[in-house]
Amino acid sequence: TLTAPAPFADETSCQCQAPHEKLTIAQARLGTPVDRPVRVYADGIFDLFHSGHARALMQAKTLFPNSYLLVGVCSDDLTHKFKGFTVMNESERYEALRHCRYVDEVIRDAPWTLTPEFLEKHKIDFVAHDDIPYSSAGSDDVYKHIKEAGMFVPTQRTEGISTSDIITRIVRDYDVYARRNLQRGYTAKELNVSFINEKKYRFQNQVDKMKEKVKNVEEKSKEFVYKVEEKSHDLIQKWEEKSREFIGNFLELFGPDGAWKQMFQERSGRMLQAFSPRQSPNSSPTRGRSPSRSPSPPWVFNKASPPSSPKAASASLSSMSEGDEDEK
């Protein structure tokens, strides 16, 4: 279990004490010699340490069954001289390598070109690096003599990730990172930003904040409208259910065959029976007796036969008067 970072080569007393016999790659792949691990060396700049670096070191560590990985890191002076300016300084790059799980030992201020004296000093058996020719320091390939000596073991590069790619992203999105760091409290002087650009970036930050607020309001408004629509849909659905229930109850009560019609018919029958009772039988004594007719008064004229002449009228009057006298 790893509990501490890898040691520096110039600070450790753990030196390889076994005789340094030259090994072939075939012997190393068999896990020999048994008295010591195969010492593999990998070097580089390791600026902005990333997964591509770690993957290369993992391959170097697992080339042989029993291996000890030494990693050489070039200093700032050599790097600036032969390659260019770095983002991280040498101390930061040394520390980044010490905390990689595949590294057993870190060699600070490693040489740009490997010499036989350096290989002998650190008892290096093999050098691991990608197989692409590395032209630098006036040489077409700085690992050419290592390959000729049979000490070179190739590793595979990880496509899509490199220190140059990361720096390119930063340069491309420089304004974004400058605005972000200004917002985090860095000064324009620390970022090497002019006065005008500082004001421009701060104004853009304010605009972005306003846009974010507007976006949040829009999202909340959409959420509110969605909830209202959902509630409205539920209310309409409930209203439709209630209306169907009401219409069904209404038709059941007042429809053509509803309960209200049946009740009305029953009450109508009862009222008809109450107003027109049943007729009495024919043997009733009241039906055999004819009702008595009261005599018409003598002064009522018969409309069908009016008096034909004045003499007849006077005769009828005299007879009426005589009748009255007889009654008296």
Provide the CATH number for the domain around residue 40.
Answer: 3.40.50.620
Question: 106 with 135, same domain?
Answer: yes
Question: 145 with 78, same domain?
Answer: yes
Question: 127 with 168, same domain?
Answer: no
Asked if 140 contacts 44 with a C-beta cutoff of 8 angstroms, the reply is no
Question: 87 with 116, same domain?
Answer: yes
pTM as predicted: 0.60
Asked if 59 contacts 156 with a C-beta cutoff of 8 angstroms, the reply is yes
**∠ CA(293), CA(295), CA(301), 5° rounding?**
125
Question: 203 with 171, same domain?
Answer: yes
Question: 149 with 169, same domain?
Answer: no
Domains contained in the chain, number: 2
Task: Specify the pLDDT at position 304.
Answer: 46
Distances (CA, A) of 315 to 136, 147, 308, 310: 174, 178, 11, 9
- How many other CB atoms are found less than 10 A from the CB of residue 314? 11
Show the domain range for 180.
Answer: 163-259
Q: In the structure, what pLDDT confidence band is assigned to residue 236 with cuts at 50, 70 and 90? A: confident
Task: Specify the pLDDT at position 102.
Answer: 96
Asked if 49 contacts 96 with a C-beta cutoff of 8 angstroms, the reply is yes
Q: Which of 241, 259, 277 is the last residue of a domain?
A: 259
Which of 83, 137, 90, 87 shows the shortest CA–CA distance to 114? Answer: 137
Interval 40-61: pLDDT, tens = 999 999 999 999 999 999 999 9
- Check whether 300 has a pLDDT greater than 50: no
Interval 251-282: pLDDT, tens = 777 767 767 667 777 777 777 777 766 555 55
Q: Which of 155, 190, 225 is the last residue of a domain?
A: 155
